[in-house]
Amino acid sequence: MPELPEVETVTRGLARVLTGRRIRRVELRRDGLRFPFPEGFAARLEGSLITGLSRRAKYILVNLDSSLCLLIHLGMTGRFTVLGDTALGHGEFYYKSETAKTGSGAHDHVVFTLDDGARVIYTDPRRFGIMDLLLESEMTTHKLLKDIGVEPLGNALSSSYLAKKFHRKSAPLKAALLDQQIIAGLGNIYVSEALHRTGLSPKRKAGSLVRRKAVDPRLDELVRNVRNILNEAILAGGSTLQDFAGSDGVEGTYQQRFAVYDREGEPCQKSGCGGTIRRIVQSGRSSFYCPTCQK
C-alpha cells in the first residue's frame, strides 16, 4: 500500500538492513516486473557496496559505490521481507500490504543476498512494481524521475507554488493533487484526507483557488494539512517498524485514523458537521469526501 509515508517507512527500514552491506548475489525469478529488468541487471549489482538509501516521490533509491543507483518502485503490491541475521537482529521484517501475504512464495520475484547472509526478498503479486539501474548523474534526467514535482515535506511546497501550478487549471483538485508532476508522492488516500481536513471538495476546479493578487488562504491550509497528514502517517508506520519482532507482519496504525478514506456512509467526524461520507469516482479512482463540510 505504498504512498509516500509507506515508501518512506520501507526506505528507512531497508536502510538499516542494507547500508554498508555488499550485495553478494541477485536472483531474478522472472524477466521483469512492470518493465523488463535492464540488461545485465543482476551482474551489475553483484559485488556492489550499498552506501545509502533515499526516497524521491514514491521511488526508493539505493546508492551503490559503483556510482550506480538501484531504483525501486513498489507499485501497488510490492513489499520487502528481510530474512536472517541483520542489523535489526535475528528474525523477519515485513513491509506488509493490505492483501495477505501468500506464503507460497509464488510472487517472490527478486532475492538479494547480502554479505552478512541476510536475504532480502521482493514480493509483488500484481507486478506493477519497477526496478531499474541508473547512474548517479542521471538522477534528474532519468525517464522516471525527470518530470517529478516538489517533495511535499520539503520547503519547495508552498501555497505560492501551488497557486502557480493551479492557475487556470480546470482539472478537479483531486486530480491536481494526485499529479506527480506537481507534488511528488501524494496518493489516493492522503489526497482524500487532506481535502477533508481542509474543507475543500475534491470536485472543485484547482484553478478556483487562485485569485489574481493574494494567495488564497485555503491553499496555505491545504499545504499545512498535506504536510501534517503525511507526517502523522510516517510516524504511525515508523512505530510499526520498531515493533518488528516475530514472523507476523505488523501493519501501520494510521489506517485507523482515516477520517474519510473507505468510510462511505459513515458520519463525518468533524464536530458539528453531521454530514455523511460519500464515495465518488474521479479519473477512474475513488474519492471519499463529506459533501456537507467540503466545498
Q: Which is nearer to DNA, 10 or 268 (CB)?
A: 10
CA 30/CA 154 separation, integer angstroms: 37
**Interface stretch with DNA, choices 81-89, 175-183, 214-222, 265-273 (CB under 7 A):** 175-183
Please confirm, yes or no, whether 151 is among the known catalytic residues.
no
Give residue for cell 494567495: 215
203 binds DNA (CB under 7 A): no
In the set 21, 55, 56, 58, the catalytic residue is 58
278 binds DNA (CB under 7 A): no
3-state SS track over 217-262: HHHHHHHHHHHHHHHHHHHHHHHHHHCCCCCCCCCCCHHHHCCCCC
Please confirm, yes or no, whether 285 is among the known catalytic residues.
yes
3 binds DNA (CB under 7 A): yes
Shortest distance, position 239 Cβ to DNA, whole Å: 14
Q: How many residues bind DNA (CB under 7 A)?
A: 39
170 binds DNA (CB under 7 A): yes
Please confirm, yes or no, whether 3 is among the known catalytic residues.
yes
Q: Give the footprint of DNA on residues 245-264 (CB under 7 A).
A: 252
Q: Which is nearer to DNA, 48 or 123 (CB)?
A: 123
Shortest distance, position 201 Cβ to DNA, whole Å: 14
Which spans in the chain are helix H?
A: 4-18, 41-45, 159-166, 173-178, 188-198, 217-242
Q: Which residues contact 275 (CB under 8 A, 6 or more apart)?
A: 267, 268, 290, 291, 292, 293
